[in-house]
Amino acid sequence: MRASRFHLATLKETPVDAEIISHQLMLRAGMIRRHAAGIYSWLPLGLRILRKVEQIIREEMDRAGALELLMPSFQPAELWQESGRWDQFGPELLRLRDRHDRDACIGPTHEEIVTDIFRREVNSYRQLPLNFYQIQTKFRDEIRPRFGVMRSREFIMKDAYSFDIDKEGMQRSYDIMDQAYINIFDRFGLDYRAVSADSGAIGGSTSQEFHVLADSGEDAIAFSEQGDFAANIETVEALPPRIERSAASAEMQTVDTPGMYTIEDLANGLGVSAQQCMKTLIVEAEDGGLVALVLRGDHELNALKAERLDGVASPLRLAQREQITATLGSDIGSIGPIGLNLKTIVDHSAAVVGDFVCGANQDDKHFINANWGRDCEEPVKADIRNVVDGDPSPGSTGQLKILRGIEVGHIFQLGQKYSESMQAAVLDENGKGIAPFMGCYGIGVTRVVAAAIEQNHDAQGIIWPAALAPFQLAICPINYHKSEVVKQATDDLYQQCLTRGLEVFLDDRALRPGVIFSDMELIGIPHRIVLSERGITAQQFEYKGRSDDSAQELPLDELKTFVDKLYPDQCAPG
Ligand code: ATP
Ligand code: MG
C-alpha cells in the first residue's frame, strides 16, 4: 500500500473526550471515528486490524470444528417471548416496532435465533455434536458507553453455540472451545489469563472469562501466586480470618467528628488506621425496607455476594440518602452498627476487629473503642467483601494477588435453558425427544483491538503485536519525489516485498521525515526501513524495530535478505 493512495488520517492532538490510552490512540491513528455515544465507524486502517483479529478467530474456530453462519441483527420479539427474555432483559435490549406494529429487537446476543435455527434444521442425535458460530454486529444499549470501542453500544462479537445430546457432550464441546480460545489468544500475542467467572444474565453454571491484562482494565482478577487458582474477583470467596477477635481494652466513648464523612477523613482525623474503622453501607431490602452491611474500612463491598444474602434486594441497590435520613435520623457519614435498629450483616473480617471506630448514628459523632458482643449484640456474619492482595487463596495453597483485566472472551455452559423453553428437541437412539445441552462462547472482537493497544503502547503510539499489525513493514524514503536514486531503490524494495506477499506500507508522501516517522510510530508498524540518498551513497540503509531505542545503519547489499528474515515463514526460498 502506498500512503498516497491510502486514507491515513492521523491526528496530532489528543482528543479531549477520550479518557483511556487505547481510545486516544485509536482516534489519533485514524482507526475509528465516532458518530454518537458508543457508535463508531472503522476507517480503513482500523479495519485492517479488525480483520486480522477476525481471521485468527475464524481459523481457530474452523479448526475446532465449528461451522460459520450469519444471523440477523433484527430479531422478532416472539422468539424472545418464547425464551422468556423479552420481559427479563433490561434496557440494554433495544426494542423497536416495525411498520406493521410488530415488536422486535436489535440482537444483543443470539441464543434465541440460533435455537430457532437448530430446531428447524436438526432432528436427530446423529447430527450432534454441532457448533454454529458467527462474527457479527451486536447492539446493547449500554447505560454508560465509554472508552471508545471498549464499551460501545454497537460492537462486533464472535459468538458460538454448541449443541450436544447430554451433559458429557456439552462438557466436551466446552473443553474444545476452551482450547480454541487458548489458541486464539496465544496467536494474538497478548498477555491474557483465563479465569473462572459468574454466569450473569445469560444463565447456566460453569463459565470462564478470558482477560487481557492491563492496568486500565475494568475487572479485577484474583490469582493464587502458588497454585493455579484464577477467578474474577466478583466470584472469589474471602475465607474467614483464622485469628480470634482482639480483646476490648477500653470503654466505648463518643467523639465529635465534624466534617469527617469518609473512612479516610475519619482515619486521618482520629489518627487510626482504616482497618480499625467500620464502614456501614445501607442497602435496600427485598421488602422495601433497609439492611445495613458492615465492612472493615479498607475493604470493598462485593455486590454479587451482597445481593445473594437473605432479605437483600437483587440486583443490589444502595439506599437513597433521603430514605436513610428519614428512617435512621442521621446522615450517611455517621451511621454505625451500635444501637442501629436495622437488620445488620457484618463481614467476617470486620467481626474480628476489637476497639473499633464507627458512626454513632448522630450527625457528626462517632464511637471509639466499640466492641462486638459488649457494646452491641454478637454480629451476624457473612462474606460480603472483595478479596484483596495477600488474602489466602481458596481452593489452593498460597496467597492471592489482584491484577486488572479487560474481559475479551467468555465461555459458558447453558444446559437446556433455551432448548427447553423454545422446544428444540432431537430424537435419541430410542426415538425419544431430548432437549439438547448447549454451550455459548463469545469474543468481543472490537474490544480485542482496544485491549491490545491498552497493553501495548508507548509515548509515541501503538506497538502492535506482529499478528495484529495493520502492515508488517513501513518503507520510508527521504526525498522520494526529488531523488531518482531514492525513488529507484524504494520502488525496487517495495516490489520485492509485494512479490513476497508482505503487507508493506510505502510512505511516499512529500512530507518531512520527522512527520513520516512519527506517523509510522503512532500507527504502530513493527518494522521501519529508511532509504536516503546519503545512505545509498554510503551503501547503507536504516532500520528500526518499533520498540528499539534507536535506529541502526546496515549494509545496503544485505537489504533483500534482511527483509526476507523479518517474516521468514512468509517468504518463499531463493
Ligand atoms: P461486560 O461485563 O464487559 O459487559 P458481558 O459479560 O456483558 O461483558 P458477554 O455477554 O459475555 O459480555 O459478551 C461476550 C463478549 O463481548 C465480552 O466478553 C466482551 O468482550 C464483549 N462485549 C460485551 N459487551 C460489550 C460492549 N458493550 N462493547 C464491546 N464489547 C463488548
Ligand atoms: Mg455487559
- Answer whether residue 202 shows pLDDT above 50: no
Cell of 314: 437483587
Any ligand 1 atom below 6 A from CB of 155: yes
Please classify residue 131 by burial: count the beta carbons closer than 10 Å to its beta carbon, then call 0-12 exposed, 13-18 middle and 19+ buried: buried
Question: What's the pTM?
Answer: 0.89
In angstroms, what is the span from residue 211 Cα to ligand 1's centroid? 11
pLDDT for 470: 98
Q: Give DSSP secondary structure letters for 272-298.
A: --GGGBEEEEEEEBTTSSEEEEEEETT
In angstroms, what is the span from residue 92 Cα to ligand 2's centroid? 9
Any ligand 1 atom below 6 A from CB of 141: no
pLDDT for 572: 55
CATH of domain 45-205+406-451: 3.30.930.10
Any ligand 1 atom below 6 A from CB of 408: yes
Write a three-state SS string for 384-408.
Answer: CECCCCCCECCCCCCEEEEEEEEEE
Tell me the C-alpha distance between 359 and 373, whole Å. 17
Any ligand 1 atom below 6 A from CB of 442: yes
Write the pLDDT tens digit of every residue in 134-160.
Answer: 999 999 999 999 999 999 999 999 999
In angstroms, what is the span from residue 323 Cα to ligand 2's centroid? 30
- Answer whether residue 104 shows pLDDT above 70: yes
Pick the CATH number of 471-570 from 3.40.50.1820, 3.40.228.10, 3.90.640.10, 3.40.50.800: 3.40.50.800
Contact call for residues 563 and 526 (beta carbons, < 8 A): no
Any ligand 1 atom below 6 A from CB of 409: yes
Tell me which of 23, 32, 111, 157 to substitute to probe ligand 1's pocket, judged by most ligand atoms within 8 Å of the beta carbon: 157
Tell me the C-alpha distance between 451 and 448, whole Å. 5
Other beta carbons less than 10 A from residue 487's beta carbon: 16
Write the pLDDT tens digit of every residue in 212-251.
Answer: 999 989 999 998 888 778 888 988 999 999 888 989 999 9
In angstroms, what is the span from residue 336 Cα to ligand 2's centroid? 34
Q: What is the mean pLDDT of residues 475-495?
A: 96
Average model confidence (pLDDT) for the chain? 94
Q: Which ligand is located closest to the Cα atom of residue 409?
A: 1
Any ligand 1 atom below 6 A from CB of 444: yes
**Superfamily name with CATH number, domain 253-382:** YbaK/aminoacyl-tRNA synthetase-associated domain (3.90.960.10)
Tell me the C-alpha distance between 294 and 122, whole Å. 53
Any ligand 1 atom below 6 A from CB of 457: no
Cell of 248: 476490648
Any ligand 1 atom below 6 A from CB of 140: yes
Tell me the C-alpha distance between 345 and 189, whole Å. 45
Tell me which of 198, 202, 443, 447 to substitute to probe ligand 1's pocket, judged by most ligand atoms within 8 Å of the beta carbon: 447
Tell me the C-alpha distance between 12 and 433, whole Å. 63
In angstroms, what is the span from residue 4 Cα to ligand 1's centroid? 37
Q: Which ligand is located closest to the Cα atom of residue 111?
A: 1
Ranking 260-274, 305-319, 388-402 by mean pLDDT, the lowest is 388-402
Query: What are the residue boundaries of the structural domains of the chain, listed by start?
Result: 45-205+406-451, 253-382, 471-570
Q: What is the mean pLDDT of residues 540-559?
A: 96
pLDDT for 152: 98
At 278, the amino acid letter reads M
Tell me the C-alpha distance between 186 and 271, whole Å. 50
- Answer whether residue 204 shows pLDDT above 60: no
Q: What is the mean pLDDT of residues 458-486?
A: 97
Q: What is the mean pLDDT of residues 29-37?
A: 97
Contact call for residues 177 and 210 (beta carbons, < 8 A): no
- To the nearest 10°, report the CA torsion of 418, 419, 420, 423: 120
Q: What angle do CA 250, 254, 255 make, to 5 degrees?
A: 110
In angstroms, what is the span from residue 407 Cα to ligand 1's centroid? 7
Q: Which ligand is located closest to the Cα atom of residue 149?
A: 1
The residue whose C-alpha atom lies closest to atom 3 belonging to ligand 1 is 407
Please classify residue 281 by burial: count the beta carbons closer than 10 Å to its beta carbon, then call 0-12 exposed, 13-18 middle and 19+ buried: middle
Ranking 158-167, 253-262, 534-543 by mean pLDDT, the lowest is 253-262
pLDDT for 328: 87
Contact call for residues 341 and 330 (beta carbons, < 8 A): no
The residue whose C-alpha atom lies closest to atom 2 belonging to ligand 1 is 407
Q: Which ligand is located closest to the Cα atom of residue 155?
A: 1
Contact call for residues 496 and 477 (beta carbons, < 8 A): no
pLDDT for 199: 56
The residue whose C-alpha atom lies closest to atom 23 belonging to ligand 1 is 444
Any ligand 1 atom below 6 A from CB of 356: no
Contact call for residues 194 and 212 (beta carbons, < 8 A): no
Tell me which of 57, 410, 445 to substitute to probe ligand 1's pocket, judged by most ligand atoms within 8 Å of the beta carbon: 410
Cell of 440: 455459548
Secondary structure letter of residue 455 according to DSSP: H
Tell me the C-alpha distance between 221 and 209, whole Å. 10
Write the pLDDT tens digit of every residue in 338-372.
Answer: 999 899 999 999 999 999 999 999 999 999 999 99
Tell me the C-alpha distance between 295 and 555, whole Å. 67
Secondary structure letter of residue 146 according to DSSP: B
Q: Which ligand is located closest to the Cα atom of residue 38?
A: 1
Tell me the C-alpha distance between 473 and 563, whole Å. 9
pLDDT for 574: 44
In angstroms, what is the span from residue 445 Cα to ligand 2's centroid? 14
pLDDT for 571: 58
Q: What angle do CA 393, 398, 399 make, to 5 degrees?
A: 60
- Answer whether residue 573 shows pLDDT above 70: no
pLDDT for 10: 96
pLDDT for 310: 93
Contact call for residues 219 and 405 (beta carbons, < 8 A): yes
Quote the distance between the C-alpha of residue 433 and its chain's center: 39
Q: What is the mean pLDDT of residues 1-19?
A: 94
pLDDT for 125: 97
